[in-house]
Amino acid sequence: MSDREQGMKTRREVLGDEHVDRAVANTTPFTEPFQDFITRYAWGEIWSRPGLDRKTRSCITLAALVSLGAENEIGMHVKAAITNGLTPEEIAEVILHTAIYAGVPRANSAFAIAKKVLEE
């Protein structure tokens, strides 16, 4: 299986068909190189590696996104974390733990996003 095929398989398993189908449908000639890049490298190379399970990868991803203040990505990865076996309580612990290292304002925003996603 190519990195692209593996990436698309993993991406669908973690993010869900609806999200991936929407991303594919919204791809334009301008964004296609980026979509190909994240499919092959983020999902095909990194998320598909055997060294960490998906639950652990979701913890790391959430912590990184909170740290960066990447609010447009947090909701998607809260959903992915649930898919990967984290409980809402574990998600809260990841965000709380990240607050100490990345800052309270970023964690506050992440809690608001996660709360909204988990209530849906």
**pLDDT band (50, 70, 90) for residue 10:** very high
Per the rule left: phi > 0, alpha: psi between -120 and 50, beta: everything else, 101 is alpha
Same domain? 58 vs 32:
no
- At residue 3 the predicted structure's pLDDT band, cuts being 50, 70 and 90, is confident
pTM for the full model?
0.90
Give the CATH number of the domain where residue 107 resides: 1.20.1290.10
What dihedral angle (degrees, nearest 10) is formed by the CA atoms of 1, 56, 68, 26? 40
Q: Please give the pLDDT value at position 80.
A: 98
Q: What is the pLDDT of residue 119?
A: 97
Q: Which domain holds residue 58?
A: 54-119
The answer to whether residue 34 scores a pLDDT higher than 90 is yes
Is 90 exceeded by the pLDDT of residue 1?
no
Same domain flag for 70 and 110 = yes
